[in-house]
Amino acid sequence: MKKLGFIGLGIMGKPMAINLIKAGYDLTVYDINAEAVTALAAAGARAAASIAEVAQTNPVIITMLPNSPHVKAVALGPDGIESHARAGTLLVDMSSIAPAASQEIAAALKAKKIRMLDAPVSGGEPKAVDGTLAIMVGGDEADFTEAKPLFDILGSSAVLIGPVGSGNTCKLANQVIVALNIAALSEGLMLAKKAGTDPQKVFEAIRGGLAGSTVMNAKAPMILAGNFKPGFKIDLHIKDLANALDTGYLTGAPLLLTSTAMQILQQLHAGGDGQNDHSAIARFYEKVAGETIGD
């Protein structure tokens, strides 16, 4: 049985870790939330008391954490992976963070002969549960090949984009496109509603045409039902777009539409929708229009 460490057991990490246990991995887990660790131990994982314990005992470690500062602390902190992992350890960071942060962490770890892939995912909690995530990877090809059996358990696709940082650059592009898709969908459905046309019928008519998309198929039913139970929260999308905008400033990439989407998300956060699904972008249009899209 292959030994594997997993740090970060939140809305995405927990189902991912469970899928690895089901696949037969000897999984050692850690999270600052003791209840999450206890739940995974009940599912068959080994409970670690610290990051150091995970780092000392596992040749491969997966991290799934909220943002760049959390990954830096776990990887480079005094009690973290850099200080306690053996030379040759492979860190697979599946968090969605800033590409520059991934590169900074990888460079520091390389000095200790610790390898790293940045491998953020798309698909939200439902695909984490199903093991059908889309995985975008940055790093060396040999390290990608080593980690591929893990990616095959966790996702339906895994693509090596380029060197470290490329995975998170790809994820930021993904998040820009998803946010703008949801905003465009909301805008179009509200146009239909205000014009006296049934938004449900509009969705049914256009979903198979050029406007159709995976985003539309996933989010239109939620918008029409007024169901904003989180699969991917507004506040998390704000984090991703903040990283995208920062990266745009660093690279000179024009992100005009992303800036507008960020303002919409920030207004939703201020209005109490931060913990709702990002399909709640529709609520911005509903508040402005004074009418709901669904019945």
Phi, psi for residue 255 in degrees, rounded to 5? -130, 55
Phi, psi for residue 177 in degrees, rounded to 5? -65, -40
Q: Which residues of 200-229 are buried (b: 16+ CB within 10 A; e: fewer)?
A: bebbeebeeeeeebebbebbbebbbeeebe
Q: Are 216 and 185 in contact (CB under 8 A)?
A: yes
| Known active-site residue 171 | yes
Q: Are 76 and 52 in contact (CB under 8 A)?
A: no
Candidates 6, 4, 28; CA nearest to 128 is 6
Q: Quote the CA–CA distance of 97 and 79 in Å, as a whole number.
A: 21
Structure tokens at 288: 């402005």
Q: Which residue has the tokens 């870790």?
A: 17
Kindly give, in sequence order, each residue whose CB lies less than 8 Å from that of residue 57, ignoring residues fewer than 6 positions away.
3, 5, 28, 48
- Strand-pair partners of 46: 28
Q: Which listed residue (14, 171, 219, 233) is catalytic?
A: 171
Kindly give, in sequence order, each residue whose CB lies less than 8 Å from that of residue 173, ignoring residues fewer than 6 positions away.
244
Q: Which residues of 281-295 are buried (b: 16+ CB within 10 A; e: fewer)?
A: bbbbbbeeeeebbbe
Number of CB atoms found within 10 A of residue 145's CB? 10
Q: Quote the CA–CA distance of 39 and 17 in Å, as a whole number.
A: 11
CA 185 to chain centroid, in Å, comes to: 21
Residues with a catalytic annotation lie at: 171
